[in-house]
Amino acid sequence: MNKYKDIHFEVSERKILLRLFDVISVLVSLYLVGIVFKFNYFNISTTNFYWTIVLGLYLNFIGSVFEMYNLQVASNQFQVIKSIILTSSTTVLMYLLTPIFTPILPTNRIQIFFFFIAIFVALFTWRMIYVRFFASNRFLKKVILICDKEQVKELVDGLENADPHYRVMGFVNSDSTNLKSDLYPKIKSVDINDLEVFVKKNSISEIVIASQKTDGITVKLYNQLIHLLENGYIIREYTQVYENITQRIPVQYVSRDFYRYFPFSRSNQNHLYLIIVRFLEILISLIGLAVGLLLIPVVALGNLFGNKGPLFYTQERVGKNGKVFNIVKFRTMVKNAESGGAVFATTNDSRITPFGKIMRKSRIDEFPQFINILKGEMAVIGPRPERPVFVNEIAEVMPFYETRHVIKPGLTGWAQVNYSYGETIEDSLIKLQYDLYYIKHRSLFLDFSIMFKTLSTVLFYRGQ
C-alpha cells in the first residue's frame, strides 16, 4: 500500500468537519461560560437535551444561509468573519424567539449577552483555526493529470478554481501527435518513464485521467497505472472528478456521448417525490402570492415614478418538453426595450430602470411567477426558462442544451445560485452544466440546499 500520501480532506469531508465542529465548539463554549459566569440560560443535561439539538439545527441551517459552509468563504479570513457575525446574531435571535423549543427567556439581560458572546467567540476561534491550519497548504490534495497537452490549462483552472485545496502538481502528455513542451509551462510536464517516481516524490494523492485520445494510453503508461493502483493510489476519470468538485456536468468533454449521463436521477420518475414536490410548490406559491399582494402597492408606486409603464410584463419562455408558455414578471426594463430584437440581458444593462435594478437585486420582480407555478407551467426549483429564440440559437452549438426541458423550469435553480447572470453563449454553457447536474442528482436534499442558497442570494442582495 502507498505510504507516501499526505493527509487531505475531500470537499464533503471538509463540509462535515465544519458543521460538526461549529456545533461542538459552541456547546463547549456555553458549558465553560456556564461554569465561569454562572450562566443559567442554557444548561446541557439529559432532561433538556432537545435544547442542544435545536441549537445545533439552528446553527447548521442559518450557517448554510449565510455561506458558512461555502469552502471559498470558509477559507477566506475576512469573508468568514462577516458570515460568523451574521450567523451568531441570527442564531441567537431565533433561539430567543422560539421558547416553545428552547429555554424560557431569561429575566436577567446579561444572560442574553453571555449567550451571544459564547456562540460568537466559539465560532470565531474554531473558524480561525480552520483558516490557519486546515485550509493551509498542509492539507492540499495533490494530483497529477494524464491528458492531451492542449487541455491542460482549462482542466487545471476548472479544478483549482472550484476547490481551493486542490493542486495539480504535474501532467503526463497523452497526445502522441503533440510533444511540444511549452504550451503550459506553469504545470510540470512529467515523462511517462518518470511517472511512479514523481507520484511518490510529490506525495500525490490521486491520478486523474482526462485524455480523449486512447492511442496516448500506451502499454507502458497502462502498466505504470496498474502498478500505482496496486500500491494504493486512487485513479479516477476526469469527468467524475470534475462533477464531484464543481457540482456540474462537464459536457464539453464528452462530445455527443449522451448515454454516459443516463439514467438521470430516479426522482424524475419517483411519484412520491413528485407528489411531495408539487404539494410544497403549491404551498410556497400561495405564500409567495400573499407576500406579492402586500408588495404590490410599493411596487406600483415605484413603477409609477421609476419605470413609468405597465406594472406587469409577460414574455414567451420554453417549458417542459419544449412547450412554450408566457412567464409573468414585474416590469424592470424601459418600454420597447427590445425594439431592435432580442438580446441577452447584461450585468449593467442600460435597459433596466433604477427601480428595476432594486427589484432584480431583491428578486421582487419574480413574485408574479408564482402564478406560473400554480398553473403547473413552472416549478419552484429547476432550470431557468429561456426564450425560444435563444433556445434555438444555443441548441445549435450545444447538443445537450435541450435536455434542460425534460423537467419543468424553475423560479430558482442550481445554476442560478452558483453562477451569475448568463450574458453570452459561454455563460449559457456553464449554466447548462449546473442544470444537467441538478437533473442528474435531483432530490429533496438538493432542493433544500438550493432554497438555502437562494435565501443567501436574496439576503446578500445578489439578484440580477
What integer pLDDT is reported at residue 349 of this predicted model?
Answer: 65
| Strand-pair partners of 327 | 315
What integer pLDDT is reported at residue 1 of this predicted model?
Answer: 46
Q: Give the C-alpha separation, 183 to 187, whole Å.
A: 10
Q: Give the C-alpha separation, 324 to 387, whole Å.
A: 9
Helix spans in 322-397 (H): 354-362, 369-374, 388-397
Q: Map out the domains of the chain as residue ranges.
A: 11-134, 140-246, 266-459
pLDDT digit string, tens, across residues 65-89 = 888 988 878 888 888 999 999 999 9
CA dihedral over 268, 436, 443, 242, signed as positive or negative: positive
What integer pLDDT is reported at residue 71 of this predicted model?
Answer: 81
Please report, rounded to a whole number, the percentage of residues in the chain having pLDDT higher than 70: 85
Q: In what order do the strands lie in the sheet with 166-173?
A: 188-189, 166-173, 141-147, 206-209, 234-237
For residue 232, how many other CB atoms are within 10 A of its CB?
Answer: 11
CA 211 to chain centre: 27
What integer pLDDT is reported at residue 22 of this predicted model?
Answer: 95
pTM of the model: 0.77
What integer pLDDT is reported at residue 357 of this predicted model?
Answer: 83
Q: Give the C-alpha separation, 152 to 187, whole Å.
A: 8
Q: Which of 147, 185, 143, 375 is nearest to 281 (CA)?
A: 375
270: confidence class by pLDDT, cuts 50, 70, 90: confident
What integer pLDDT is reported at residue 265 of this predicted model?
Answer: 67
Bridge pairing between strands 312-318 and 324-330: antiparallel
Q: Give the C-alpha separation, 247 to 241, whole Å.
A: 9
What integer pLDDT is reported at residue 428 of this predicted model?
Answer: 80
Helices and strands counted in the chain (H then E): 16, 9
* Residue 333 DSSP label: B
Q: Give the C-alpha separation, 287 to 137, whole Å.
A: 47
The average pLDDT across 45-58 equals: 82
Q: Give the C-alpha separation, 111 to 210, whole Å.
A: 57
The distance in angstroms from the start CA to the end CA of the chain is: 51
Which is more confidently placed, 16 or 266?
A: 16
- Quick check: bond before 263 cis, omega within 30? yes
Q: Give the C-alpha separation, 20 to 30, whole Å.
A: 16
* Residue 146 DSSP label: E
Name 422's Cβ contacts closer than 8 Å, sequence gap at least 6: 344, 428, 430, 431
Grid cell in block for residue 406: 425534460
Q: Give the C-alpha separation, 292 to 310, whole Å.
A: 17
Grid cell in block for residue 200: 511518490
* Residue 309 DSSP label: S
**Residues 207, 228 contacting (CB under 8 angstroms):** yes
The average pLDDT across 422-427 equals: 72
Name 221's Cβ contacts closer than 8 Å, sequence gap at least 6: 146, 172, 174, 192, 195
Q: Give the C-alpha separation, 123 to 367, whole Å.
A: 35
Q: Give the C-alpha separation, 105 to 96, whole Å.
A: 6
Name 431's Cβ contacts closer than 8 Å, sequence gap at least 6: 384, 415, 419, 422
- Which residue type, as a one-letter code, is found at position 420? S
Q: Give the C-alpha separation, 170 to 144, whole Å.
A: 5
Q: Give the C-alpha separation, 296 to 330, whole Å.
A: 9
Q: Which of 325, 343, 320 is nearest to 333 (CA)?
A: 343
pLDDT digit string, tens, across residues 374-390 = 999 999 999 999 888 88
Whole-number Cα distances in Å, 283 to 6, 288, 289, 379, 380:
49, 9, 10, 12, 11
Determine the topology of domain 140-246 in CATH: Rossmann fold (3.40.50)
346: confidence class by pLDDT, cuts 50, 70, 90: low
Residues listed for the chain: 464
